[in-house]
Amino acid sequence: MYFYKIVVPFKKQTLKQYFLFLVLILFNSCQYFDKQVPSEKELLQKELKAINWKEVDEYPSVVDCDKIEDRKQRQQCFFEVLTQLIQEKLCSDTLAMLYPELDTIEVKVTVFPNATMKFEPQFPKDSVAYDKIKIDSILKARLVDFPEIHPAIKRGLPVKTQFILPVILKVE
């Protein structure tokens, strides 16, 4: 019995220690489940920083170029078709007669999400030899009735894109 008196208090003491130890572990383990959920604003800011706003997922396209699978080739096709259409519309115009020294003009093309286009001539900053208003009005009058253009796509939504095309007016 003597041995029993020694062992029983020892077991009670050990069980109490284990119980306290388990309770401490249980309360501390709750911190592992308490994760901080980021707010909507933080998630939005993070996503906006991750988006490359200089690139689009799909460039604007015309029906003739839609069959091309490669992204860069489709973009090149679109630029070539658009440049050719602009050259055809401007080649038989008074632009060549008014400004015989003008062989190439840079045109800033804006394709809007609703598939409309806007054309603006680009001139060097120091250029005073050309009547910019007259050239702009000729471009607006001649550059109409284009085939259907599909706007650029960014994350599944149509977006506005701008680019500058060099258009050769005189082909010798």
Number of domains in the chain: 1
Look at residue 22 and tell me if it is in a domain: no
| Structural domain includes residue 48 | no
Residue 161 structural domain: 61-168
Calpha distance 168→154 (Å, rounded): 31
- Cβ contact 167:104 at 8 Å: yes
Residue 49 inside a domain? The answer is: no
CA 157/CA 122 separation, integer angstroms: 29
Residue 73 lies in a domain: yes
Whether residue 5 is contained in a domain is answered as: no
| Residue 98, amino acid | L
Residue 3: per-residue pLDDT: 46
List all residues 6 or more positions away from 139 whose beta carbon is below 8 Å from its beta carbon.
90, 107, 119, 120, 121
84 in any annotated domain? yes
DSSP code string of 60-125? -EEGGGTT--SHHHHHHHHHHHHHHHHHHHHHTSHHHHH-TT--EEEEEEEE-TTS-EEEEEE--T
Evaluate whether residue 4 is within a structural domain: no
pLDDT (tens, 9 = 90+) of the chain, 172 residues, equals 444 454 455 455 566 667 777 676 766 655 556 567 778 888 888 888 888 878 888 888 888 888 888 888 998 999 998 888 888 877 765 666 676 677 778 889 999 999 898 888 887 666 656 667 777 777 777 778 888 888 998 888 899 999 888 877 665 5
DSSP state of 107: E
Closest CA to 139 of 100, 171, 167: 167
Cβ atoms of 160 and 111 within 8 Å: the answer is yes
Q: Phi and psi for 141 in degrees, rounded to 5?
A: -75, -35
According to DSSP, the β-strands at 61-62 and 117-122 are: unpaired
Q: What is the pTM of this model?
A: 0.67
Q: Is residue 147 part of a domain?
A: yes
